[in-house]
Structure 1
């Protein structure tokens, strides 16, 4: 049987199959993992309700239950960590990070989650309280904060309500990065440089990155420049800014465009923040797998 449109290729399946549980933990065996993951991918691409997933992928409840269980036990995160490890082992991760955020409109079906439900270690207090749903000028929205490497591949993701600010999430995004070596050695956590727009250009952020030894390229806000000029010599030198280096920041915008080709991510239908972030993680895994197949 051939591989359908958007389904896992044989090469991609060979990469992730060893990472998947072999038993359901209740004395039985899982339904075919590849069939179920392909069903989840179909639903992400189409953005339909779970009940509308084609029968060839199995019962829709099985697909949703697999998403739920592997969110709780961290399976999706381990798969993403694995593909990043393999790529960094051959020198493919490019350690200039671009950081930005995008708002996602939440469908009315995303509201109304029960107070008790799925939680995961990544969920910050802001997201945990309100399932990362908030009000902004676009209505009911969530905000995706993303760090990519220099090729535009996802390195870390944070989900917040739509009205949350961008700058407070920069350091937490970097703190999530820990790319293990394919062998001995500590995980690599620190990029060489961070590229970000004016929303992240606060003096406190610049100081924090200097303490970490990370170069930072971001245009200075006009009000920050005016305040510095008013202080005169006491303000020190203006921050260095290289427009040519800054042009590389557009890779994060391109990554958002690739993620939003999955219609279930372009509009949020999922009630639980934990499940929506797992869907983002699954899409990120697919981007990494596609890149590894395209690169000789």
Structure 2
């Protein structure tokens, strides 16, 4: 067992939720060996072709990761480890929301734009996702076409992508979204919250509503506060300086100022610490993946193994 590989207890927890066959001819290589190879690449950021031989053929490892990123296997695994933690009462539902910009290397550029080839076509391996084109298209980040549809854009940091995420009170990611680096944080607040979906054992609706929420001034606007009030979520978001000045100018007509709990706001750093844990994985801290859904799968895979190891 190498450093960073799955332990026996982690493997037994994940094994029931993994697919057992890809529906194609040929040998279906052991999932545990492949996952160890994926974890090695996520942790070190090494090129797929340079994976050590003990993980098997590098192309098998890459194809399995690409396929699981496209069909939502990584997201389902994240939900299942969250459900196990929720079943034992380990989730702190005082949620915080934030974002982080990730620098994209030149290796992330060059993905073909325009419509993807038809499923099963020979061009699918270079221009899209063979056999999963429709799934990959539906999972692309919000935004325009071209490079933006792959979660790539331009910001003050240059060629970048941005992670928008929510984290529980124990600094573990609950939901993740990838957008171009210039995308404003407030535009992704609602999608990030609505992506929180922790299944419950047996029958019942999944848990989607935090007990409380904290966010910084980037999320301080009327539509966000109205959305939280409509869902009945207690929130702590500081008011922007110019909003305070505008409210004071209106006098009594402006109504009461929004509530602000200083003690609760001190816990907002949990999302920053969750970001630090994600960025300990070099393939997350720097983007090398061309396709947005593959990069999201890389970050989700890193998040899956943060839960059982904290």
TM range (shorter): over 0.9
RMSD, aligned CA? 1.3
User: Which residue is equivalent to 2:289?
Assistant: 270
Q: Is 1:187 paired with 2:206?
A: yes
Give the drift of 1:137: 0.7
User: Which residue is equivalent to 1:90?
Assistant: 88
- The equivalent position to 1:123 in structure 2, one of 104, 129, 140, is 140
- The equivalent position to 1:30 in structure 2, one of 28, 33, 36, is 28
Give the drift of 1:129: 4.4
Q: Which stretch of structure 1 is more off in the superposition, 266-275 or 29-38?
A: 29-38
- The equivalent position to 1:173 in structure 2, one of 186, 192, 197, is 192
Give the drift of 1:27: 3.9
Unaligned residue ranges in structure 2 (runs of 5+): 117-127, 130-135
Where 2:19 maps in the other structure, the secondary structure is: coil
Give the drift of 1:125: 3.4
In the TM superposition, 1:83-232 aligns within 5 A as 83-115=81-113, 116=116, 117-118=128-129, 119=136, 121-126=138-143, 129-130=146-147, 131-232=150-251
Where 2:143 maps in the other structure, the secondary structure is: helix
Whole-angstrom distance in 2 between the partners of 1:179 and 1:75: 15
Give the drift of 1:128: 6.0
Whole-angstrom distance in 2 between the partners of 1:266 and 1:250: 19
User: Which residue is equivalent to 1:294?
Assistant: none
- The equivalent position to 2:69 in structure 1, one of 41, 65, 71, is 71
Where 1:289 maps in the other structure, the secondary structure is: coil
Whole-angstrom distance in 2 between the partners of 1:86 and 1:56: 31
Counterparts in 2 of 1:12 and 1:121: CA distance versus 1, 3 Å? farther
- Whether the 8 Å CA contact 2:213–2:235 is kept in 1: the answer is yes
TM (normalized to structure 1)? Answer: 0.94
Where 1:102 maps in the other structure, the secondary structure is: strand
Unaligned residue ranges in structure 1 (runs of 5+): 292-296
Structure 1 consecutive aligned stretches of length 4 or more whose deviation exceeds 4 Å: none
Where 1:40 maps in the other structure, the secondary structure is: helix
In the TM superposition, 1:11-50 aligns within 5 A as 11-50=9-48
**How many residue pairs were aligned?**
289
Give the drift of 1:6: 0.6
Whole-angstrom distance in 1 between the partners of 2:278 and 2:284: 7
**Cα displacement string for residues 208-228 of structure 1 (whole angstroms, at most 9, x for unaligned residues):** 101110011011100110111
Whole-angstrom distance in 1 between the partners of 2:304 and 2:145: 24
Whole-angstrom distance in 1 between the partners of 2:288 and 2:28: 26
Where 2:309 maps in the other structure, the secondary structure is: helix
Whole-angstrom distance in 1 between the partners of 2:57 and 2:145: 30
